[in-house]
Structure 1
Amino acid sequence: MTGKWGGRTALLAGFFVILLDTTIVAVASPAIQAELKPDVAGLFWVTAGYLLAFSVPLLVLGRLGDRFGPKRVYLVGMAGFGVASALCSLSPSVGWLIAFRVLQGLAAAAMAPQPLTLIRRLFAEDERGRALGVWGSVAAAGALLGPVAGGLLTATLDWRWIFWVNVPLCAVALLLGLRLTPGSPGRATRFDVPGAMASTAGLSLLVWALLSWRSLSLLAAGLSAVLLLFFFRRERGEGEEALAPLELYRSPGYSSASLAMAALGATVLAMALPTMLYVQDVRGFGPVEGAAVLAPDALVAMVLSPWTGRWVDRIGPRRPAVAGMVLLTVSLLIVGLVVVLRLNAWWVAAGAAVLGAANALAWAPLSVTAMGSVAPSMAGAASGLFNTVRQVGAVAGVAATGAILAGPAARPTPAFGMVFGLITLTAVAGTVAAVRLPKTLTEAEVATGERLP
């Protein structure tokens, strides 16, 4: 037991580093622009390059965890993240910074699928909710501390310190991982090189098309569709050796959890930027007030997430997941009404508090259901595919809201109203998917045809 729970602590340390880095960079963007002098497109790709590199290789790296062992791939990713962070801090130009941010994204992609795989293998069914419940608290802490730490480091030292701070954090997480995370042996399998190439190229073009909004985006999307069609046709004949085994979607638990998680990822990430733009550019809030109005999201999630994990272990995943997705819809309705009816902008804080409860309630049961619905031999592939669906959903949400806000810029209130209308509908779709989850993981076991350990 000590090994399992100690290992979870080590995995959480790495997860915290990724979340902190994701939220810390945005605050330093003006300082980066002032020193390195990028144009708007260059500054955009400091973040977009990381997101592209993080999203695309998750399928391949999840499968590599099956082959070489998830602990080994996780530790390599953690070491790579620390090295890439140091290189980011030394960047002499924005071009080099973008290149090193891409390396950071690749390292984060190596780390991201492995914790779910390890938890699936190490923890019994009645422990997984508790093992994953604290994940939401750590995510919320990263989301809350990132902007604060980024602001303090940039104001008192230099923007480069937002990357330097990752180096000691990665070193600590690496040592914890080496000492505390139990090993899980890999499995000798044939690696599908043509499938890996097709999926990587197809997803790269898809994510680039979603992020770029350029005239070439339609061509990139078309090429992406051809490559991904080839990939999925090839996967049909690969069986358990497939990078993305399509039989995973025969499980109602896995397919419903994936769809609900995609909706959760799309809405949560897509609403953050328009909310901050609205309260500052339209309603006149300053940066401190803007941060304060969203702070209840992280605070509520930090408090509720561990409790949610225990609830999932006791009553099963469906009711907490449905409650979380319903609250997600309610939170977006609250913020949307503030925009459309021009209510007091501080009501956004109420929506943020409800959003925090939604995150806490939905994250653990969706992850538990997805990983509990697959055979242990498929855990790495299932985790990689689950994370890929979530990340592509998040990219699509950001791209859609960015396209709307870039359109009717002369009439900002209708544009923000359209944004919140779209992401609210996405949350409703995610709620419908959550309703289709199995009541208990015993039902998920039956769907896989393999008893869980």
Structure 2
Amino acid sequence: MPFILSVIGLGTFITALDQTVVVTALPSVMLDLKVPIAELDRVSWIITAYLLGYTVAMPLIGRLGDVYGYPRVYQVSLVVFCIGTSLVAVSSSLEWMVGARVVQAVGGGATVPIGMALAVSLAPREHRALALGIVGGAAEAGSMLGPVYGGAIVEALSWRWIFWLNIPQSAVIFFALFWVPNHRNEEAKVDYIGGVVLVGALLVLSLAMSRRGFFTFDSPYPFLLTAAGVGLIALLVLVETRVIQPLLTPLLFRSWAFLSSNLTQVLVGVALIIAMVTVPLVANTVMGKSPFTGALWLLRLTGIIPVGAVVGGVLVMRLGANTLTVAGLVLVALGMFLASGWELGIADPELTVHLLIAGFGFGLVIAPIAAHALGAVDEDYRGTAASLVVVSRMMGMTLGLAALSAWGVQHFQVLTGG
């Protein structure tokens, strides 16, 4: 079991790394691809494209894992990830790179839900929450260390090597997965039509919620996109009612445990992205600190999240998923409340303690939320359920970032201008 968890965790870590790895490499990418600084908004699509691809394909790939076996689908996903990462590495234009990032993300996005489902299916019942905590912690560690790793590779080699190095790392995991037994469900089927409609609905809704006009009401486009997304969801419901084995079984949405877990994930995603943006922003502007200092402040928040995830996995069986989730959310609320009262002269140890409290809370809820959701579904739909849990958090982060852009930053500018 430790070997299997190590393999799953490493795969999750590598693909999560690529969510944020290009942040520190963007100046080098812009210079190499001859993108002027005036078009910085276009360059941001290098990050956005990965997040969109990472999110929208998850439910369909999760279901493929339920049907064809988690190890084999994990391996296919790694192949897709490597194809995408190779295309990124040879990019000759921004448009090429954005498209390649989508391909890369489709493969990379599968590793978290498939990894969770595989961990749960192989781990003894008393160790399942811990396994989920390890997988979740690996994903958080990858996202956290991405900018540092990317910056180091750019300094030592070039930004293209960030992506070339993914291939040998993925190859190790690919071959290691042959030692993991693959169990194909011969009786289960994949609803491909429903999967395509769901991918379209998630894509359109993600684009709608990522626009600041969704909250400022100064543009009709977000609402047109939302209407299209709702229409696709209605079509999905119609398609699913006519399929014997739907992609999204009605049993998922009749379970209060599953629904409440996903709703909590949305709210956690909103809170997390707001904290991750606000902490360095306040440090660099209001507090007059350097960008490096702002990054170190943020690291105190994000660095403890993987630790909280593992601790949460250990404690689930003792305290219960509900109790532990509430405890984690209370810690997040307490940490953010304490941070809201910072004065200009805030310093250690108060600064670090407040951020550690919030970060530990964000980590503590990962395992109990996942365990609560996966415990509410049949074995045939574990991959699908795990993917929806991850999608809920990503959608929450998208929503939170748009809300922050529309209201928070504007309010911040008013305060600092005054």
> TM above 0.5, one fold?
yes
2:292 corresponding residue in structure 1: 288
The size of the alignment, in residue pairs, is 408
Matched, 1:274 2:278: yes
Unaligned 5+ runs, structure 2: 214-218
CA distance in 2: counterparts of 1:410 and 1:343, whole angstroms: 20
Q: Give SS of 2:109's match.
A: helix
Alignment of 1:31-50 (within 5 A): 31-36=28-33, 37=35, 39-50=39-50
Distance 1:118 1:137, change over 3 A: closer
Q: In 2, Cα distance between the equivalents of 1:285 and 1:109?
A: 35
Residue in 1 that maps onto 2:17: 20
- Written as runs of structure 1 = structure 2, the 5 A alignment for 1:142-291 is 142-179=142-179, 181-213=180-212, 215=219, 216-238=221-243, 241-291=245-295
Q: Is the 8 A contact 1:283 1:345 kept in 2?
A: no
- CA drift of 1:60 comes to 1.3
TM-aligned CA deviation for residue 246 of structure 1? 2.8
Partner SS for 1:284: coil
Q: Is the 8 A contact 1:138 1:302 kept in 2?
A: yes
| Aligned position for 2:311 | 307
Contact 1:244 1:385 in 2 (8 A): no
CA distance in 2, matches of 1:32, 1:254: 41
Separation (CA, whole Å) in 2 of partners of 1:151 and 1:331: 29
Q: C-alpha separation between the residues in 2 aligned to 1:279 and 1:209?
A: 30
User: What is the SS of the residue equivalent to 1:256?
Assistant: helix
Q: What runs of 5+ residues in structure 1 fail to find an aligned partner?
A: 416-453
Distance 1:306 1:205 in 2: 34
Work out which of the residue numbers 357, 363, 367 in structure 1 matches 2:366. Answer: 363
User: CA 1:204 to 1:301, structure 2 compared with 1: closer, same or farther past 3 Å?
Assistant: closer
Counterparts of 2:274 and 2:411, CA distance in 1: 18
Counterparts of 1:350-429 in structure 2 under 5 Å?
350-405=353-408, 407=410, 410-411=413-414, 413=416
SS at structure 2 position matched to 1:46: helix
Judge conservation of contact 1:125–1:372 (CA < 8 Å) in 2.
Answer: no
Question: 1:311: Cα distance to partner?
Answer: 1.4
More moved, 402-411 vs 50-59: 402-411
Cα distance in 1 between the residues matched to 2:56 and 2:306? 29
User: Comparing 322-331 with 392-401, which one deviates more in the overlay?
Assistant: 392-401
| Cα deviation, residue 99, structure 1 | 0.9
SS in 2 for 1:244: coil
For 1:353, the aligned partner's letter is L
Distance 1:389 1:14, change over 3 A: same
Question: Deviation string for 1:51-85 (max 9, x for gaps)?
Answer: 11111111211111122112111111112212221
Show CA shifts across 1:109-138 (max 9, x none).
Answer: 333321222223222321112212223442
CA positional deviation for 1:232: 2.5
Question: Which region of structure 1 is more displaced relative to structure 2, 400-409 or 258-267?
Answer: 400-409
Alpha-carbon offset, residue 406 of structure 1: 5.6
Shift of 1:186: 3.0
Distance in 2 between residues matched to 1:245 and 1:65, nearest whole Å: 15
TM-score normalized with structure 2 length: 0.89
Q: Which moved more, 1:350-359 or 1:87-96?
A: 350-359
TM-score, length-scaled by structure 1: 0.83
1:344 maps to 346
Q: CA deviation at 1:350?
A: 3.1
Change in CA separation of 1:186 and 1:285 when aligned onto 2, cut-off 3 Å: farther
% same residue: 28
What code does the residue aligned with 1:257 have?
A: S
| Preserved CA contact (<8 Å) 2:67 2:188 | yes
Cα distance in 1 between the residues matched to 2:197 and 2:230: 11
